[in-house]
Amino acid sequence: MPYYSENHFAPLVLSKPNKKLTSLKVLGMDKKSLLRNIKHYYTHRLGRDSNCSTTHYPYMALSFAVRDRLMERWISTQHSYDEQNCRRTYYLSLEFLMGRSLGNAMLNLDIDATLREGLLELGLVLEEIAESEPDAGLGNGGLGRLAACFLDSCATLQLPVKGYGIRYQYGMFRQHIENGYQVEDPDHWLRDGNPWEVERQEFTQRVSFGGHTEYYKDALGLTRARWVDTRDVLAVPFDTPVPGFRNGTVNTLRLWQAAATDEFDLEEFNAGSYTEAVGSKNNAENITMVLYPNDSSENGKELRLKQQYFLASASLKDVLRKWKSLNGDRLDDFAAKNCFQLNDTHPTVAVAELMRLLLDEERMDWDSAWSITSATMAYTNHTLLPEALERWPVRLFRQLLPRLLDIIYEINARHLAQVATRWPGDTARQRRLSIIEEGPEPQVRMAYLAIIGSFSINGVAELHSKLLVEGLFRDFYELWPEKFNNKTNGVTQRRWLAHCNPQLKALLNDEIGDAWISDLKQIQRIAPLAGRAAFRQRWAKVKRDNKKRLADLVERECGVRFNPDALFDVQVKRIHEYKRQLLNVLHCIHLYARIKADDSDNWTPRCVLLAGKAAPGYAQAKLIVKLINNVAKVINNDPQVGDRLKMAFLPNYRVSAMEVICPGTDLSEQISTAGKEASGTGNMKFMMNGALTIGTLDGANIEIREEVGDEHFLLFGLTEEEIKVQRHDYQPDLIIARSRDLSRVMELLEKGQFNQFEPGIFDPLIAAIRSPDDPWMLAADFTSYVEAQQTAAERYLCQEEWIRSAILNCAHSGKFSTDRTMQDYNREIWRLDPIRPQPPA
């Protein structure tokens, strides 16, 4: 099998497969074997000696030793899948926000305690070494982290699921703050090498762009199409092992990197421009250079469409390659054995690409190709914001993917014929349901392509799925109600409790055993303990230690000292107007104003923490970051405020920061405008670690409240329906005038209290709050938010009651494990059998 490219020097191959070369002998999991390996890697592979003092090399040596233990399990898992020739699912996603791998691998292999102890014998502290690992930040936020949690749960449930994504050279930008403003720095996460991946050049694929379609008659006289004169790029896979929890299963995340073919631009080359010809290679390699840093919106960039097609095409070709290696060329059974889950509209060009591969390369007829495609594709929608539903100009498609556009037109024509049969003469409906949006610049609606081409379409929380079929996708729902379903999101308790909160893990294990780590429903067994004072005391001690750890992080990064006895009030997530960080700031200003007005009897000291990245081109969000920092500065430096209120913005929010933040949080802010946040997953991480939620009836907050009970959730704000009604006659100026508190807050903002030397900079935020068209309706929810915050503050003063609620939040978080989410996907969409790998000899 050629790899890299047809005209590359052919790789030399063994004359027959060699079985003796692979030894599947299990490496020791005991301290002695592990330490022997670590020392071996440190000296023999990395070439370091006692003069080397950085933590990086011990980290690398440790990672290699751990990785070795994954390898044999990885190989045997993949062999079991192949031997059983089982049905499989492929999770296609432009984002996988994996964070760090070391701690997770040690936990899942059950060698964390042994290694911690062993390293101490070498004079090393595990936590210090682990800090050397950069986050794999190949995602923006919730959607990308969800994909990572899904992979963890699939491996734990022993489901044959493979992730397919892109190996960006630069992940999510690093954020630092200068004079209160966000500044973006490139994240070259691969700079020091990545021990958690294996390059698999032998599975390299070719992906085409440009060119045009040519028609010809095949041997049977049938008209067929081929895509010619293309500019090709190679896709080289890098595999990352995804270990299950103590079960011998290791699944794969396969990330594609673009590489130039060895074909020089001949014209340039012959004209003597050798260096220019070589230089044009960069174009190809640019495709996987950088992750687009936009959450919930896209900007129609050509490179982004290239990334999407690159992922879809390389992954589908890889699946077909694998299929043929196990089953030969016949594809009759393909749909029975394969399923593609499309993570949002980003990879949905896969629908057209699979059709192309089946029609043009496998020479199938349209109906057979369509029956395979529409029985293997499943689409997950992640947002109700219309700007996030991707549309690509037809013009761009024609230029970049002309053959794909032909196919999309054909899919659309057949689809519209179906619509016309169902609703004869209803041309308005035909226009609404068309994949092509007409207008001066016609667009391809990617969500519609996905809906038409998929057998399953799901939202990510009950409310979200309901709103999808009532609003955005209503027409399609009328056409195919059976396709639509809900799959409420989750998070993996392995990372988000067992790994990130070791003290709480120990307490839980002590009381109820450790079954909850792979069956989170079991955690409800701590509910009765909430009534026991001795247990609450132990819980309080854990929480306080976690708050100290968080306070240290805040002090280190922000120079602000948080008192661990205060209420830790936290909002961390992407900065976006709909998430309403601005409402949180208004509340902080309100508390500040109260202190200044001497209205602080029975005060609950509060430390407010915010963190999150704003998309680099999203001016309003960046201004919110600036406002948070400016308000924090005024509050923290006012001696009259003292310990009653502290406020900080933690720069460069990322997975590993959340691992310290969520265990140390008392109050979780989930305050989006109702109907805007599809699900949320941060809300679940906080709940699992025993925070109370202050939130609107939005996304999964609704289900969180249902699970824990009204009295342990701080509810405020208009419902989605009330928002819809009030929107028509929304007069924020009037609301502000009628509220003494909000008037006072606006007055401080408007008189420039927080921007004394930068007059006018916050005017756009003020104007947004005062605008009758404010889509997020901040002013409408202000008063009830302040009331809920006041309730939180009062409840916190009664620590016994607060802790009881905190314990009950943790106890009722069982539903929000991705183990449950994956079981739901599997039962209703994927229908995979769990496969237990043969343990290596």
Q: Which is nearer to ligand D6G, 43 or 325 (CB)?
A: 325
Copy the structure tokens of residue 473: 């996708």
Q: Which is nearer to ligand D6G, 74 or 716 (CB)?
A: 74
Cβ neighbours of 812 (radius 10 Å): 21
What residue number has its CB nearest to ligand D6G? Answer: 239
- Say which amino acid occupies 517: I
Q: Which is nearer to ligand D6G, 200 or 727 (CB)?
A: 200
Minimum gap (Å) between residue 322 Cβ and ligand D6G: 5
Q: Which is nearer to ligand D6G, 180 or 248 (CB)?
A: 248
Name residue 250's beta-bridge partners: 243
Residue 734 contacts by C-beta under 8 Å, 6 or more apart in sequence?
A: none
Determine the 3-state secondary structure of 215 from DSSP: strand
- State the DSSP string of 635-669: HHH-TTTGGGEEEEEESS--HHHHHHHGGG-SEEE
- Sheet strands side by side (includes 645-650): 645-650, 606-611, 567-572, 667-670, 692-695, 714-715
Contact 574, 612 (CB under 8 A): yes
Copy the structure tokens of residue 136: 């794999």
Contact 681, 693 (CB under 8 A): no
Query: Where do runs of H (alpha helix) occur along 513-618?
Result: 533-558, 581-596
Q: Which is nearer to ligand D6G, 322 or 770 (CB)?
A: 322
Minimum gap (Å) between residue 194 Cβ and ligand D6G: 15
C-alpha to C-alpha distance for 321 and 501, rounded to whole angstroms? 42
Catalytic one of 483, 573, 576, 815: 573
- Residue among 39, 546, 7 at smallest CA distance from 263: 7
Catalytic one of 505, 547, 587, 685: 685
Catalytic one of 306, 494, 574, 820: 574
Query: In the 8-state DSSP scheme, what is residue 358?
Result: I
Minimum gap (Å) between residue 252 Cβ and ligand D6G: 5
Catalytic one of 579, 654, 712, 795: 579
Is residue 681 among the annotated active site residues?
yes
Q: Which is nearer to ligand D6G, 754 or 830 (CB)?
A: 830
Q: Which is nearer to ligand D6G, 11 or 210 (CB)?
A: 11
Minimum gap (Å) between residue 80 Cβ and ligand D6G: 11
Instruction: Give CA torsion, residues 692, 695, 699, 701, to 10 deg.
Output: 30
Minimum gap (Å) between residue 265 Cβ and ligand D6G: 32
Is residue 579 among the annotated active site residues?
yes
Number of residues in the chain: 841
- Chain residues binding ligand D6G by CB under 6 A are 74-75, 78, 198, 200, 239, 252, 322
Catalytic one of 88, 100, 346, 382: 382
Name residue 241's beta-bridge partners: 252
Minimum gap (Å) between residue 786 Cβ and ligand D6G: 54
Catalytic one of 240, 252, 348, 681: 681
Copy the structure tokens of residue 228: 């010619």
Q: Which is nearer to ligand D6G, 195 or 732 (CB)?
A: 195
Cβ neighbours of 344 (radius 10 Å): 26
C-alpha to C-alpha distance for 723 and 781, rounded to whole angstroms? 10
Minimum gap (Å) between residue 74 Cβ and ligand D6G: 5
Q: Which is nearer to ligand D6G, 322 or 521 (CB)?
A: 322
Minimum gap (Å) between residue 11 Cβ and ligand D6G: 16
Copy the structure tokens of residue 417: 């014929």
Is residue 382 among the annotated active site residues?
yes
Minimum gap (Å) between residue 1 Cβ and ligand D6G: 11
Helix and strand tally (H, E) in the chain?
A: 34, 25
C-alpha to C-alpha distance for 562 and 566, rounded to whole angstroms? 8
Q: Which is nearer to ligand D6G, 75 or 715 (CB)?
A: 75
**Helix 581-596 × helix 740-750 angle, to 10°:** 100
Contact 182, 614 (CB under 8 A): yes
Contact 572, 661 (CB under 8 A): yes
Minimum gap (Å) between residue 613 Cβ and ligand D6G: 32
Contact 406, 414 (CB under 8 A): no
Residue 597 contacts by C-beta under 8 Å, 6 or more apart in sequence?
A: none
- Just list the catalytic residues: 382, 573-574, 579, 681, 685
